[in-house]
Amino acid sequence: MNTNRSSYLLGAALGSALVLAFCAPANAADIYDGGLKGGYDVPPPPPTDRGMYFKGYVGAADANVGDIWTEQLGTGTGFVHHKDIKSSPLFGLGIGWQRNHWLRFDLTGEYRGDAVFLAHDQFPGANTNEYTADIRSWMGLANAYIDMGNWCGFTPFIGAGIGFSTLTVAGMKDVNVVAPGGSVAFGQDHTKTNFAWAIYAGGAFDITPQVALELTYRYADLGTAQSGRVTTFDGTASNSGVFVQDITSNDVMLGMRYKFQREAVVYQPVK
């Protein structure tokens, strides 16, 4: 009796062991097949937005003059008829850091080509001055941008920057043809460095995961430019120079941004 019971228990134990031995591999295979072959999607690693980028851009600068000042105008007896700076090209490079998907920073440096400066003032007694000169500048800015979402590869953004501008007034000429005898005066070249600031609005379009095309509008304040001492051709008179005050600019720029970081690898399900 006891022998039969022992035989039954031993048989049951052996049978259970055989069932587990055959079923466990099958269940593991089922899990493998379901998990990696489509039953359960393996989530890809989260994408990274961080990384450095390099950019280059070209554009057109439409500058404006707030006012002009000379020693003669400083007496308060004259007035300015006209003041203007013609449009000029600009070229720039920059390097930046994408902090996350909505915030980035960069440092930019640009050269703004020669722009023709023209002005005309008048004083009592048929005394006039017609000024012409070339104004060229360099500008360096530290910028921050907010990227406002991405729609099918298009990202609108706004930004602001602070830095410096270096303005050179070259070839200043002051012609007075109305006064008796007339006169012509020439100003020495002079370079002045100012605090500068700018605000941006624009959009970027992703051509590839690493390359984006940018179209940007910028309003920039470059400060004041100044000629050197102005002296008449015959050396009979001179003054401290012509001050071109409160130069601002409306700029339109087309640029390319290259992102150094690689896109995150997305693991596809095993077929």
pLDDT in tens, 115-140: 999 999 988 766 888 999 999 999 99
Q: Provide the pLDDT for residue 254.
A: 98
Better pLDDT: 270 or 233: 233
pLDDT score of 12 more than 60: no
Averaged over 216-230, what is the pLDDT?
96
Q: Provide the pLDDT for residue 263.
A: 53
The residue among 80, 170, 71 whose CA lies nearest residue 129 is: 80
Average pLDDT for the chain:
83
pLDDT score of 107 more than 80: yes
pLDDT score of 19 more than 50: no
Q: How far apart are CA 251 and CA 244, in angstroms?
A: 19
Assign 194 a pLDDT band (cuts: 50, 70, 90): very high
What is the tens place of the pLDDT at every residue in 136-191?
999 999 999 999 999 999 999 999 999 999 999 999 999 986 666 668 999 999 99
Assign 56 a pLDDT band (cuts: 50, 70, 90): very high
Q: Is the distance from CB of 127 to CB of 177 less than 8 angstroms? A: no
The residue among 244, 243, 144, 257 whose CA lies nearest residue 197 is: 144
Percent of the chain with pLDDT over 70: 75
Averaged over 239-264, what is the pLDDT?
90
Q: How far apart are CA 252 and CA 254, in angstroms?
A: 7
Q: How far apart are CA 244 and CA 120, in angstroms?
A: 12
Q: Provide the pLDDT for residue 169.
A: 97
pTM for the structure as a whole: 0.77
Q: Provide the pLDDT for residue 26.
A: 43
Q: Provide the pLDDT for residue 257.
A: 96
Q: For 45-59, 119-133, 155-169, 214-228, which range has the lowest pLDDT when averaged over its residues? A: 45-59
- Own/partner pairs for 268-271, CB < 8 Å, 24+ apart? 269/36, 269/37, 269/38, 269/41, 269/42, 270/36, 270/37, 271/37
Averaged over 61-90, what is the pLDDT?
91
